[in-house]
Structure 1
């Protein structure tokens, strides 16, 4: 790994982040938007250009009068490796400063996922990816579970780990900046800079797949760790007469949406259940419609609790469940105002099916934010 790059000052970071999320801009526009004086904006621009972060060029199609100088971020200013850990595989990417994936790789984890063996695999994966770019400035790792201090895995849901300092072990082996994050939190960070955060300062992220995950961004700040790791929302009751989840709750959100629970109730794998619905099977359709209604209620509750109109749905199972019209119907019913209510609310909901490359990119974007000093 390259030597540890200097983090940006608060002003440099504000300018760089704005250009990354909103695109090239003139000094004047940046100064007005960020409320910086002409002198301060000029000083920051000179520093960032000299540091190899920004480039300043003439406006491609100048209007009447003197052409403006336009600032933009150099894509190759930073490169970061991102690694997503599952129970048996490490999925890796290397991204430029915009979070654009330049190369991918994957490696099997040793049986039983021993800590030292997993650290070795991550280091080897990072070394392979580093050869695909001029240099690597840091590494971000994400996994399901509870992470503290951006380094210590308090609870590795799919790895069986408890209270291990993954960040310290990787820093000792690789050198340079390392950041460890919950995988859904890492995705929320990617959405903040390169997705929903471009238009909403507060939004929620809900992932549906092997488990249910919740990410929260409030007023432009990612909530680092949830007080309950999403447990309260995942086990909120939908109906008192529904199926039981693995914890014994009857008719809770997890009983309908957690893949293991849904497969247990269906008696067949999730993909087969979706195929059966496509073939017109009434039982499969009823099960997935029930899951869709549970999702609709969860989205409405999540949005109401956050007081946001923006919810991002993601994960391996999101698209199949949102294919049911019951999702939209349930949300519409929840949004229907009473006869004496004048205020109307509409939710902006997008669905983003995820591959493991997307999960790894979330880890890489978290790493980019870390090496720039945003974390």
Structure 2
């Protein structure tokens, strides 16, 4: 299946992101002539990607053609790999989940790595199960935590023990389908670009909080595929020199307050027994002062991080997501910190307001992000 031309992709993307519109209006928006727009609409209609319908309330003059994207024109399997499981979904072109499934990853070797060949077979079987739920599958996208290069090579698989591992080539050979491999936060940023924050902001930042801290960057409508530091500089930015230490020994850095492992370690030390993140949240609800203090510290750290990220990107839009983010953002300390950071000086006239949203993610949501990246890949946008 050949990728779309640049112009075909522009038309299809606009219809997916912004919904149905008239052929004339879309041509004006994309600066395409009437003849070019007619040719593109005909080509995409013949390919089954869009439909053309006459405006139902047409009365005078030439009938207006309404263009709409066809949701089921493409289906892609998205798969999120964790340390021990593969979570899969099959989505249509709009990123709507049609079915979900999961499978255990193979047992680790004695050196702590997850076997690659067996993982490929697991993902292939998962994709085969999901493919039965739709007419056909056009591609597979796999996301994972770590560093991915060339949309194929896992240079550093944080939770799988992988180094310089080609995942796309054997999976492509196993399934016969186009395959793209991506960092999991980058995939979420791609989803936000088409179906979330990107609808109103061409530049925005994404922060995920959970098993680790993740960062996604979109600048002028382009997703930054590989961060120079995998987010390390932001994650370990110092907030105070007297705060708790992260796993790398930094005192009072952002990660020491927000990394789940570090937060649980500090809570366990304070309680004199093992404390999980969920247990910490429950203790705060019950009025425990230590739990309240720790989670308030996390909220303050996240507020500073969001404000700093927005300033660095020069955007008013930041998306907070992840398994732990809702419980941390529930503290008023986050909004208080952001408001204080935005407070202008006495002689300043410029005003700024940050649009910060939060979304709790399930593993299926992570897999959906991979699927959207896969849709973009098979259409030629990636």
TM-score bracket for this pair, using the shorter chain length: over 0.9
My pick for the range that moved more, 67-76 or 40-49, is: 67-76
**1:370 and 2:371 matched:** no
- Classify the secondary structure of the residue corresponding to 1:162: strand
Partner Cα separation in structure 2 for residue 58 and residue 331 of structure 1 = 49
**Residue 329 of structure 2: aligned partner:** 322
**Residue 349 of structure 2: aligned partner:** 342
CA RMSD of aligned residues (A): 0.9
**Residue 139 of structure 1: aligned partner:** 140
- Classify the secondary structure of the residue corresponding to 1:13: helix
Partner Cα separation in structure 2 for residue 137 and residue 370 of structure 1 = 10
Matches within 5 A, 1:1-375: 5-62=1-58, 67-112=63-108, 113-267=114-268, 268-375=275-382
- Classify the secondary structure of the residue corresponding to 1:133: coil
Closer, same or farther in 2 for the Cα pair 1:63/1:20, shift >3 Å?
farther
Provide Cα deviations, 1:105-136, integer angstroms capped at 9, x if missing partner: 00000111211111110000000001110000
Provide Cα deviations, 1:262-320, integer angstroms capped at 9, x if missing partner: 00000110001001111111111010000000000000000000000000000000000
Partner Cα separation in structure 2 for residue 253 and residue 212 of structure 1 = 9
Partner Cα separation in structure 1 for residue 248 and residue 93 of structure 2 = 42
- Classify the secondary structure of the residue corresponding to 2:163: coil
Could you state the TM-score of these two structures normalised by the residue count of structure 2? 0.96
Partner Cα separation in structure 1 for residue 148 and residue 264 of structure 2 = 29
Task: Extract unaligned runs of 5+ from structure 2.
Answer: 109-113, 269-274
Closer, same or farther in 2 for the Cα pair 1:128/1:335, shift >3 Å?
same
Partner Cα separation in structure 2 for residue 283 and residue 364 of structure 1 = 41
Partner Cα separation in structure 2 for residue 208 and residue 174 of structure 1 = 33
- Classify the secondary structure of the residue corresponding to 1:116: helix
Task: Extract unaligned runs of 5+ from structure 1.
Answer: none
Provide Cα deviations, 1:40-98, integer angstroms capped at 9, x if missing partner: 11110010001110101122444665542100011110000000000000000000011
Aligned residues: 371
**Residue 111 of structure 2: aligned partner:** none
Partner Cα separation in structure 1 for residue 312 and residue 305 of structure 2 = 10
